[in-house]
Amino acid sequence: MAREAALLTAAAAAGVPVPEVIDSDESSIVMRRIDGETIPRRILRDDEYSSARPLLAAQCGEILARLHTLPADVVPGLEQNDQVAQWRSMLDSLGQPHPAFELALRWLDANRPPLHEPTLVHGDFRNGNLIVGPEGVRAVLDWELAHAGDPTEDLGWLCVKAWRFGVAPPVGGFGTYDELCDSYEAAGGRPVDRDALRWWEVLGTLKWGIMCIVQATTHASGMVRSVELAAIGRRVCENEWDLLEALP
């Protein structure tokens, strides 16, 4: 919690919209409440947010450009891992056969893009972790997965099909790749290699698929009995399908 509070403070100083930290310690954070909506179904479909939707992809690009000005060591102790190796190890530890995931891992390993100088990476920047009002993004939430890494990771994660929630536009269900990338670059972000962006989107799809297995296992093992975790487990096959469609 103390590290997350430090991340929020650093992000705010860089111009990223986040809730104001009022107080924190090792076990809790108190933040100022921000009105708005976080439920993607409402953000993507309700008339109340019709004026916001055309703005969101460009706003996300601008926010991420600001975030990625922060160096990897802005908060001590942030991890930096080889993402392909990390998720291969996670899949192997689960002991389940998923050929589509194995195929994706091989493709990712064989087609690694050049890595940028590491920066602070949010790690879960997506529709569902944004507070949105009629004028657009009001705050970015859920910083517990922040780490050091290639900034393109955040852009690719935002484009993963799962975070479109059944709506066609590829960026969060609300915008286009061009809107996101053009805004990111205009706000000072590094030029976005579209092939690298696609690579990170594929990696994000793989990650979410493996995370779905983990959450289902948490329920099935009895560790945490939860209908929500069980339902998320049923989405593993969606990610397998998405990967098979995405791979050349």
Q: Are strands 136-140 and 29-31 parallel, antiparallel or unpaired?
A: unpaired
Which residue type sits at 39?
I
Q: Give the DSSP H or E segment for 57.
A: helix 53-67
Could you tell me if 56 and 169 are in contact, meaning their C-beta atoms sit under 8 angstroms apart? Answer: no
29 pLDDT band, cuts 50/70/90, is very high
**Spatial contact of 173 and 130, defined as CB atoms under 8 Å apart:** no
pLDDT > 70: percent of the chain? 100
pLDDT above 90: residue 220: no
- State the amino acid at position 191 in one-letter form: P
Query: What pTM value is reported for the model?
Result: 0.95
Residue 235 DSSP class? T
> What residue ranges define each of the domains in the chain, with the CATH number in brackets?
36-80+118-192 (1.10.510.10), 81-115+193-248 (no CATH)
- The runs of H, that is alpha helices, within 111-174 are 152-158
Per-residue pLDDT reduced to its tens digit, 129-163: 999 999 999 999 999 999 999 999 999 999 999 99
Structure tokens at 85: 């190796």
Burial class (CB in 10 A: 0-12, 13-18, 19+), 181: buried
